[in-house]
Structure 1
Amino acid sequence: MPEVLLSKQDGVAVIVVHNPEVKNGLTPEMGRQLAALCDDIDTDESIGAAVVQGAEGSFCSGADRRRWNPSGDQAEDTAFKESGAVYSAFKRVGELKVPSVAAVRGAAVGAGMNLMLATDLRIVADNARILAGFLRINLHPGGGFFTLAGRTAGREATAALGLFSAEIAGPRAKEIGLAWDSVPDDQVEQQAFDLARAAAQDPELAREAVRSFRTELGPPAIGWDAALHFERGTQMWSQRRRANL
């Protein structure tokens, strides 16, 4: 059954996209489940970080095409709302109140690449298949792809991926700044969890830090002078709080 699963350990929420028959393609129902699980994470103040991963060695192949007909009328009310549920899901991941890490094994394609890019950090397998792929199937990119990719890998890489349908593996993703690290497939999920657990040691501070991180870097980013003033109040709060720990 296609679903999204949630577990919690050591202050880390682990979200698993589970639809292995189609390499974890997303259905509208899964999109709604994912958004609801993000609400759960945000309200659980013991959680200081999140990992997003796919089931059975593959991250996410995009939309589940058993439910999505790209040749159909996407402006029809039901179809429009169903695709919106998928788009809203990875936007909701990007709005989590805790730092998030994507553990990318196997395929991250189309909407699955958007889900990967919605997180704050990515650990990818050396043999991962990372592909926007929209133009390959005669579709314009969706879900804010250009903004997501551009803020992570910059203009040149975003053009290659989004306009020219370049496909890359883990080492190239790391080289162009699309991922923090590229590691052997069997190490991806543990490394992502270890990073998340480090942030989750102080959930309250992690939530404040990631709020500053996203506000300052955007898009749109803010200038250095504004960032200095924006950070100052929260830094003073953390200093007072640290003295009392």
Structure 2
Amino acid sequence: MNLETVTFTVHEKVGVLTLNCPNKLNAFTKQMNVEILQVTKEVAKNEEIRALVITGAGRAFCAGEDLGAIEAGEAIQHGEVLRTRYNPMMLAFYQLEKPVIAAVNGAAAGAGMSLALACDFRIASANASFIEAFIHIGLVPDSGSSYFLPRIVGLAKALELSILGEKLSAEQAQELGLVTKVTQQEELMEHTLAFAERLADMPTKAIGQIKQTIYKGINSSLTEALEAESYAQEIAGQTEDHREGIAAFLEKRKPTFHGK
């Protein structure tokens, strides 16, 4: 892949996508949106990669849209920008049948916070912060924030964070259940990679089905959720990892999963 605004490396079975425009606090541009989507599609089809970590270079995770690139008085078709640039990117994370972990190394603001919310797990450094910054420029939370935030922190808190636009520290985010773990800045990637490697050693197909059934279950009736579980279990039950799990249980040993 020919990448200019992000970097992508693979550590064992874990892909690491780094937003790499630190001089602009890793703010989104059209090219960055395209490259993130390109990397995510590669991860989806590469069976050797069984978990994805997303982080930012420098002192920020992602500052949201690059507002500095907008000329004074320029009319922006925000809906079209979202439909063509942001929505496909967020859907790609949502639909990726592998675990996605955000290593939040600094500020996650606006659509940058949305990016973190779209991940399945968030590990944050003590320097990290989260802010639904849209209200400060007269806009509404987008890029999936209205979907993910209330499901993570609850309706009342989601309204509070979105309307007041107040910054959350890493510790406050953890108290709300938004962050899985807080680490020291210098230990962030070490802890995140260890967590990602743990996930990568698990039955990947089952994780993918868990993601889909949990997300569907939030918006489903009990009847619909039960059917979705039945469908997902049929798929998981046909995997090599399921057969290995059963064999390991019967043989009283630790299973070795291959993500198949």
SS of 1:56's equivalent in the other structure is: coil
Q: Equivalent residue for 1:80?
A: 80
> Secondary structure of 1:63's partner?
coil
Q: Is the 1:8–1:14 contact (alpha carbons within 8 Å) kept by the matching residues of 2?
A: yes
Q: Per-residue deviation at 1:89?
A: 2.1
Which segment is superposed worse, 176-185 or 61-70? 61-70
Distance in 1 (alpha carbons) for counterparts of 2:172 and 2:95? 27
Aligned match of 1:98 = 98
Please say if residues 32 and 86 of structure 1, whose CA atoms lie closer than 8 Å, have aligned partners that are also in contact: no
Aligned to 2:237: 236
Q: 1:63 aligns with which of 62, 65, 68?
A: 65
After superposition, where does 1:1-245 map in structure 2 within 5 Å? 3-68=5-70, 72-75=74-77, 80-81=80-81, 84-202=84-202, 205-218=203-216, 219-221=218-220, 223=222, 225-226=226-227, 228-237=229-238, 238-242=241-245, 243=247
1:108 shift after superposition = 0.1
Amino acid in the other structure paired with 1:211: Q
Change (3 A) 1:166 1:82: closer
Report the alpha carbon displacement of residue 241 of structure 1 after superposing the two structures with TM: 3.9
C-alpha spacing 1:63/1:52, structure 2 compared with 1 (3 Å): same
Counterpart CA distance in 2 for 1:185 and 1:137 is 30
Instruction: Return the offset for 1:45.
Output: 0.3
Task: Tell me, yes or no, if the aligned pair for 1:27 and 1:86 is still in contact at 8 Å.
Answer: no
Note closer, same or farther for the CA distance 1:93–1:70 as it changes in structure 2 (3 Å cut): farther
Please give the alpha-carbon distance, in whole angstroms, between the structure 2 residues aligned to 1:13 and 1:208: 19
More divergent stretch after superposition (186-195 vs 67-76): 67-76
Larger radius of gyration: 2
Does the CA-based 8 Å contact 2:209-2:232 persist in structure 1? Answer: no
CA distance in 2, matches of 1:88, 1:27: 14
User: 2:70 & 2:220 partners in 1: Cα distance?
Assistant: 35
TM superposition shift of 1:161: 1.3
After TM superposition, give the deviation of residue 125 of structure 1 in Å: 1.7
**Change beyond 3 A, Cα 1:18–1:83:** farther
Amino acid at match of 2:65: A
Gaps of 5+ in 1: none
Distance 1:144 1:82 in 2: 10
CA deviation after TM superposition for structure 1 residue 4, in Å: 1.4
Secondary structure of 2:18's counterpart equals: strand
Deviations 1:171-222 (A, max 9, x none): 11010011111222222222111111111125xx213323323322334256
TM-superposed CA distance for 1:21, in Å, is 1.0
- Compute the displacement of 1:232 (Å): 3.3
* Greater RCO (CA < 8 Å, at least 6 residues apart): 1
RMSD of Structure 2 on Structure 1 (CA): 2.5
Q: TM-score, normalization: structure 1? A: 0.87
Give the share of equivalent positions with the same residue, in percent: 23
